[in-house]
Amino acid sequence: MNAEPMNLTGTPIPAKKGEILLSVENVSLRFGGVKAISGVSFDIRKGEVRAIIGPNGAGKTSMLNCINGFYHPQEGQITYKGVRRARMKPHQAAAAGIARTFQNVALFKGMSTLDNIMTGRTLKMRRGFFWQALRQGPAMAEEIEHRKVVEDIIDFLQIEHIRKLPVGKLPYGLQKRVELGRALAMEPELLLLDEPMAGMNLEEKEDMCRFILDVNNQFGTTIALIEHDMGVVMDLSDRVVVLEYGRKIADGTPDEVKQDQKVIDAYLGVAH
Amino acid sequence: MNKEVGTGPEEGCCNVRQPDRENATVASATAGQADTFPKLLMRNARERGSRTAYRHKDLGIWQSWNWAEMAEQVRAYARGLQELGLKRGEKVAIIGYNRPRLYWSMCAAQWLGAIPVPVYADSVADEMAYVLDHAEAVFACVQDQEQVDKVLSIADRLPRLRTMLYDESRGLRDYDHAKLHDIGRVIEAGAKALKANSAASAGLDREMEAGTGSDLAVILYTSGTTGRPKGVMLSHYNVITAAEIGCQFDGLNEEDEVIAYLPIAWVGDHVFSYAQAIVAGFCVNCPEGPETVIDDRREVGTTYAFAPPRVFENMLTITMVRMEDAGPLMRKMFHFFLGVAKKHGEKILNGEPVPLGARLLYKLGDALIYAPLRNRFGLTSIKVGYTAGEAIGPEIFRFYRSIGVNLKQLYGQTEAGVYITMQPNGEIRADTVGRPAPLVEIKLDENGEVLYRSPSIFGGYYKDPEKTAETMTADGYVRSGDAGFFDETGHLKIIDRAKDVGKLNSGELFPPKYIENKLKFYPNIKEAVAFGQGRDYATVALNIDLTAVGNWAERNNVVYASYQELAGHDLVYDMIAKHIDEVNKSLASEPAMGGAQVKRFLILHKELDADDGELTRTQKVRRGFIAERYAPLVNALYDGSREADISTEVTFEDGRKGVISARVKVRDAKTYPATAPERPDAARAA
């Protein structure tokens, strides 16, 4: 370390330039007469952090809901891992490796952190209900296996101290972290985060940013996130897609997006 | 090694406290052949190889290493460090939370004759840069990415730093690994090299054999409340002696369990979690993280504990708050038995006679309340617990003792290798720090400053002979910087930092912090500021505790609308006057303190606040600033007037400023003739 300080290598992970993991083509979504999304197209590449931003009501959460099969767009198509999807149910999306967290924390409030994250392993359980209830022999062995994964996640997210506390008692910032933990427990390929930093203070935000970057870096997980904090978005993401009133108005690297006049008008220039 | 301490014939009179004769022979059978920590480690591997040495709770499970495994790891680690180019006499910074591998880093460095320099992990980058640079660290062993980043951020100020090693690899995958190494890999590589090359193996053992007790073992930087941190140099002999003093005093042995959670750069942790563990062969448990300490301690059931007062305060507060939510029957039972414990518990623990009925009642209380409480605190198996660092409230101290926890106080310093005084079993009181520890001699100089001498005292400050000369006297005593006195039973009481102890015009001692602490131990008093330096008598300005006094007001039908109104209430003044009366009585009964009794007092019309610059951010009162700001009040304390007007500018939390004006009453307090003999221990001619 003599004269010259050590540096981060600085080179982006090759996977980020890799193939397209998910592509959205011309998707439109209507609720009755209300057009939530109209003709939006973009793609998410393997290993990148992709941000979806836009003013309130721009259709960001609807977009995520389309991606993980909760809503079914009337027009357009979504191709995930090269497979064009017809009407897909959320659990099928989950089985295919798409995990998500919610804008409003959706955890089992009465259950402990550990149990909540354990539920993220549900799809990976091989033994049926009967065996698990018995909790003997092979079911026990399997549970131990899953517990190991869960403990790794607890360690990763540094939530050892709340392992056994019911999540309903936890502060909001920690609940968000537990929710991320549950999503990670699925070992997803694509992680959808809906406002992971909403309602957090600066320190919690910084922690959460660190975790998101670490997830991306350590597990190579592709991440699509919705976020309002522009600083966070510009720091975290590799590419940003901007929506307004259900339409895409810009798509590119944070720097490109920042300089786009339409974006400035629609979003950045307006105080929120 | 000195088995018997010299009789210290010089000032043979009362001013030199001799260590207890029977305590003076510290067992040193081990130190004969094994005079360094790596040698002691190998001894442990031979003699108690299968006993657990270190545990670390990781991924929810206690991972453990026995002495044989630890010795193997440390040996391989030392070889790995050797391959990375670490040489005898070079310094290795150790930065991070308590982790087995960081402790092993110390031992592996010592194996090669290099000197570990533990650094406070939470120190700001600037301070860390100073310490690493001053210590001339060439290697840094750190815990995780956070510390790697911190060291990298100051790397341009550390031209000597060659290599960094880390324990936890998360987030570090993409870093340039030319000068950055995973400790696990280094150990693996070392083990492989040792297996493949028997010459290397023999060479490594020669390195260990080359170390001697007089070698520098560790440099501990004192946190330094004033000025730059100073590097306290301790030899293997110093640290081993200090460890033996403690082990022998409390009968620690290989069966004991401790939990390591205090900063590794602090001398206490270095001795408790590293030195004593290796000397006595007991097991050190590293918790998962700072937040899990209480739970982890409970799981392990430590037998020997050390904590600053605030840890004990916190545990008690949490319990009291939770009890408020308990059912009425539970609550009644809790308070009833706490009453019983308060009356008899300490006596039972001290082995004093207690009536049979009370003894039985206490037994019942133990089954119903005390034992479950101790269990909650993780103190069930505790043999002895220590609190030190600052004064502990007598109420809190007695609470723990009354429920059967053998809590004691000690007084120590980095320069002493921790121990200066300790409380022997059966002689434990809340207001003293005990008798001189075995092998330690103490004397007081004419200003009441405590000086001590023992085989474990440091060899000097690293690269700072000037400061060393200031601190060490020609006859080998170390100036503690603290003022104190011995009471009639031979226990030392610490008053304050020596430089803060002032004098009244009459020439009598005026220890402001000592008076303030005595007052603050009353729950009704939140802050106290004592005046008296260069004045005729001592006075105090007080803040009442709004929660405690407010609660009292409710029960006594005292109506008030604001802090200011409550603080000015006559009944509140009466109540505070009673507390001051008690403090004066206690001051009168103490040697040299009789003159410092509080003659007049007032209750401030506003709470002291860090936003107004009246307190430091760590909530210490800024006496000088307050005296200036409240000059009219301070004058009123001395000119005999009954009340005084004051208006002060205050800053509200949102940054707005406003002015509070008030008329504050001043009261006289009763003083007592000094009953204690005048400073029996003061050295008249030092």
Interval A121-147 mean pLDDT:
84
Residue B470 is assigned to a structural domain of this protein = yes
Instruction: Say if residue B225 is exposed, middle or buried (CB neighbours under 10 Å; 0-12, 13-18, 19+).
Output: exposed
The verdict on a CB contact (< 8 Å) between A155 and B158 is: no
| pLDDT over 80 at B619, yes or no | no
Q: Given CB atoms, is A270 within the 8 Å cutoff of chain B?
A: no
User: pLDDT, tens digit, for every residue of B219-245?
Assistant: 999 865 556 889 999 999 999 999 999
Q: Are B437 and B492 contained in the same domain?
A: yes
Annotate B377-417 with DSSP letters as a single string: HT-TT-SEEEE-SSPPPHHHHHHHHHTT--EEEEEEEGGGT
Average pLDDT, chain B: 87
Which pLDDT band, with edges at 50, 70 and 90, does A17 fall under?
low
Q: Are B166 and B128 contained in the same domain?
A: yes
Q: Give me the pLDDT at residue A260, please.
A: 85
The verdict on a CB contact (< 8 Å) between B292 and A217 is: no
Q: Which amino acid is present at B492?
A: L
We report the CATH number of the domain holding residue B133 as 3.40.50.980
Residue B277 is assigned to a structural domain of this protein = no
Q: Are B416 and B492 contained in the same domain?
A: yes
User: pLDDT, tens digit, for every residue of B430-456?
Assistant: 888 999 999 999 999 887 899 999 999
User: pLDDT, tens digit, for every residue of B249-259?
Assistant: 999 999 999 99
Interval B566-584 mean pLDDT:
92
The verdict on a CB contact (< 8 Å) between A5 and B59 is: no
Percent of chain A scoring above 70 in pLDDT:
91
We report the CATH number of the domain holding residue B411 as 3.40.50.12780
Q: Are B65 and B137 contained in the same domain?
A: yes
**Final residue before a domain boundary, out of B453, B468, B497:** B497
Distance CA B334, CA B328 (A): 10
Residue B524 is assigned to a structural domain of this protein = yes
**Final residue before a domain boundary, out of B449, B482, B497:** B497
Q: Are B443 and B488 contained in the same domain?
A: yes
User: pLDDT, tens digit, for every residue of A179-189?
Assistant: 999 999 999 99
Residue B300 is assigned to a structural domain of this protein = no
Q: Given CB atoms, is B315 within the 8 Å cutoff of chain A?
A: no
Q: Are B206 and B326 contained in the same domain?
A: no
The verdict on a CB contact (< 8 Å) between B159 and A3 is: yes
Query: Shortest CB distance from A5 goes to which of B59, B60, B152?
Result: B152
Q: Are B485 and B505 contained in the same domain?
A: no
Interval B71-77 mean pLDDT:
97
Which pLDDT band, with edges at 50, 70 and 90, does B133 fall under?
very high
The verdict on a CB contact (< 8 Å) between A1 and B289 is: no
Q: Which of A198, A175, A186, A184 is nearest to A112 (CA)?
A: A175
Q: Give me the pLDDT at residue A5, please.
A: 32
Task: Name the 3-class secondary structure at B238.
Answer: helix
pLDDT: which is higher, A207 or B27: A207
Residue B582 is assigned to a structural domain of this protein = yes
The verdict on a CB contact (< 8 Å) between B171 and A156 is: no
Nearest CA in chain A to B291: A161
Percent of chain B scoring above 90 in pLDDT:
55
Domains and CATH numbers, chain A: 1-97+188-272 (3.40.50.300), 107-187 (no CATH)
Q: Are B411 and B507 contained in the same domain?
A: no
List, in order, residues 6 or more apart from B104 with CB less than 8 Å away: B54, B70, B73, B74, B77
Q: Which of A115, A97, A95, A99 is nearest to A107 (CA)?
A: A115
Q: Give me the pLDDT at residue B284, please.
A: 96
Which pLDDT band, with edges at 50, 70 and 90, does B316 fall under?
confident
Q: Given CB atoms, is B294 within the 8 Å cutoff of chain A?
A: no
Q: Given CB atoms, is A214 within the 8 Å cutoff of chain B?
A: yes
pTM: 0.79
| pLDDT over 90 at B26, yes or no | no
Contacts of A160 in chain B (CB under 8 A): 57, 60, 288-289, 291-292
Q: Are B493 and B513 contained in the same domain?
A: no
User: pLDDT, tens digit, for every residue of B468-488?
Assistant: 999 999 999 999 989 888 988
We report the CATH number of the domain holding residue B520 as 3.30.300.30
Min Cα separation A241/chain B (Å)? 27
User: Which DSSP letter does residue B290 get?
Assistant: G
Residue B686 is assigned to a structural domain of this protein = no
Interval B564-574 mean pLDDT:
92
Residue of A6, A117, A169, A203 best to disrupt the B interface, most CBs of B under 10 A: A6
| pLDDT over 70 at B506, yes or no | yes
Which pLDDT band, with edges at 50, 70 and 90, does A91 fall under?
confident
Query: Shortest CB distance from B176 goes to which of A9, A158, A217?
Result: A9
Q: Given CB atoms, is B85 within the 8 Å cutoff of chain A?
A: no
| pLDDT over 80 at B400, yes or no | yes
Which pLDDT band, with edges at 50, 70 and 90, does B156 fall under?
very high
Distance CA B554, CA B568 (A): 16
Which pLDDT band, with edges at 50, 70 and 90, does B677 fall under?
low
**Final residue before a domain boundary, out of B497, B520, B544:** B497
Q: Which amino acid is present at B264?
A: I
Contact in structure between A109 and A174 (CB atoms under 8 Å): no
User: pLDDT, tens digit, for every residue of A197-228?
Assistant: 888 888 888 889 989 998 998 888 999 999 88
b/e burial code for range B512-549 (CB count within 10 A of at least 16 → b): bbbbbbbbbbbebbbbbbbbbbebebbbbbbbbbbeeb
Distance CA B556, CA A114 (A): 48
Q: Which of A85, A83, A49 is nearest to A67 (CA)?
A: A85
Task: Name the 3-class secondary structure at B328.
Answer: helix
Q: Are B515 and B478 contained in the same domain?
A: no
How many structural domains are present in chain B?
A: 3
User: Which DSSP letter does residue B345 get?
Assistant: I
Q: Are B632 and B586 contained in the same domain?
A: yes
Residue B456 is assigned to a structural domain of this protein = yes
Task: Name the 3-class secondary structure at B156.
Answer: helix
Q: Give me the pLDDT at residue B653, please.
A: 63
User: pLDDT, tens digit, for every residue of B198-218?
Assistant: 999 999 999 999 999 999 999
Distance CA A236, CA B519 (A): 53
Residue B539 is assigned to a structural domain of this protein = yes
Interval B92-105 mean pLDDT:
96
Q: Are B449 and B513 contained in the same domain?
A: no
Distance CA A60, CA A62 (A): 5
User: pLDDT, tens digit, for every residue of A149-179?
Assistant: 999 999 999 899 999 999 998 988 899 999 9
Interval B323-333 mean pLDDT:
87
Interval B73-97 mean pLDDT:
96
Q: Can you give the residue range of the structural domain that contains B454?
A: 305-380+382-497
The verdict on a CB contact (< 8 Å) between A1 and B59 is: no
User: pLDDT, tens digit, for every residue of B631-643?
Assistant: 999 999 999 888 8
Q: Which of B415, B412, B413, B411 is nearest to B464 (CA)?
A: B415
